[in-house]
Structure 1
Amino acid sequence: MSLSEKSAAIAAALQAQSEFPLLRGERIALRGPRDEDADALFALFSEPQVMRYWSRPAMRGRDEARALIDNIREGQQQRTMFNWVIADAADVAVGSCTLFQFDAVHRRAELGYALHPSQWGRGIAREAASLTLDWAFDGLGLHRVDAGIDPDNDASRALLHRLGFVTEGRQRESFFVGDRVTDSELLGLLAADWRARR
């Protein structure tokens, strides 16, 4: 298959996703958001520990969580973003995992994730990211997935390195959160490296 055919196949695969693909792991599922997830998403994105390294301020009201759900649905409908809810065994939302910044021509996207502190240290973020990367590389046929983190976020860097991401550089003063400006550490994972680790 030529490069242009591979790019066209990715674009077609994205357009074929009329709904959120349901990705199931051993302990969690990645699914589309529901209206009743608003309280759980507010609990996640209003939590100071979660938002410490995020590129936006913590949520202050549940209306922001409801707006986020609308934004997630719009991104999926336009095929610009797939922002799954991480649901536990009881189908309660405990986090989110996102593929965004799709570039079909260059066959890449960016990964993001957030997990409520009550779930930290259990391997849930790794399981969610692994499900997403399997879908990105095997389901869509991407060649590369990028990630950007606050350079002070040691836990996120460690997770990404365990997944096979390589730190490739640093962008200076690339995000403002309120009056604070931060750098971005840039990491990348190639499909061949991901498959070699499985």
Structure 2
Amino acid sequence: MPLPLSPPSQAIADVLAALDGFPLLQGPRVRLRGPREDDDAALFALFGDARVMRYWSRPPMQSIDEAREQIARIQADMAERRLINWAIADENDALVGTCTLFRFDPTHRRVELGYALHPDHWGRGLAREAASLALDWAVDVAGFHRIDAGIDPDNLASRALLHRLGFLTEGVQRESFFVGERVTDSELLGLLASDWRRQREAAAAAAR
């Protein structure tokens, strides 16, 4: 018989179980919402782009059917509370990227963060805004203690973004995933809830 969860861990499990669909998170320029069937073309444009997939753990999509299948999987995974894979939507509610919380571990109060943004929107701070919304929800609403992230060590832009968010590089997992016959390392980064709160406080003070 499994041991009962501690009160904070049970609270995380209860938050996840009580979700009525995807949490809707609104920022100044982007919103995080659940993906819809009519996002298929935009999702294919995102994950079919070799620039986006250069450091991904799978090759680019080859057809819009793959995007439709992924939307169905995202919705099924959400229903089972395996992950929350939001669409990053712009001011016109068009999908321009994705932001994901996955590998939920209520027992140890950990979760992992992932994201992707279409190249047409790189360099505008939108990925940082989207990730910040997800981190706020993970820390303030769900109550996670630690957020993990893993990147290809050659992905300098993603490392810079994560470091700006307060993540620290904690190590490298050697030859941890294949894309076709190419094997790559994985750089492991971590952010504590206390780190994120200090990061927000510093940003708010700097903005005054």
Q: Tell me the equivalent position of 1:110.
A: 112
Give distance in 2, aligned partners of 1:197 and 1:116: 26
- Name the CA distance, whole Å, in 2 between partners of 1:141 and 1:161: 22
After superposition, the CA RMSD in angstroms is 0.7
Contact 1:35 1:66 in 2 (8 A): yes
Secondary structure of the structure 2 residue equivalent to 1:85: strand
Q: 2:75 corresponds to which residue?
A: 73
Q: Pairwise mapping of residues 69-148 of structure 1 onto structure 2 (< 5 A)? A: 69-148=71-150
* Alignment match, 2:186: 184
For residue 181 of structure 1, report the CA deviation from its aligned partner.
0.4
Check whether the contact 1:174–1:181 (CA below 8 A) recurs between aligned residues: yes
Q: Deviations over 1:134-187 (max 9, x none)?
A: 000001000000000000000000000000000000000001001100000000
- The answer for the alignment partner of 1:164 in structure 2 is 166
Q: Aligned equivalents of 1:80 and 1:160: distance in 2?
A: 23
Shift of 1:87: 0.3
Q: TM-score, normalised by structure 1?
A: 0.98
The structure 1 segments of at least 4 consecutive aligned residues displaced by more than 6 Å after TM superposition are none
Moved more, 107-116 or 3-12: 3-12
CA contact (8 A) 1:18 1:77 kept: no
Distance in 2 (alpha carbons) for counterparts of 1:115 and 1:75? 21
CA shift at 1:94, angstroms? 0.2
Q: What does 1:33-48 correspond to in 2, within 5 Å?
A: 33-48=35-50
TM value normalised by structure 2: 0.93
User: What do residues 18-37 of structure 1 show as CA deviations (whole Å, max 9, x unaligned)?
Assistant: 20000000001000000000
- CA distance in 2 between counterparts of 1:125 and 1:37 reads 18
- Alignment size in residue pairs: 196
Aligned partner (choices 4, 14, 24) of residue 22 of structure 1: 24
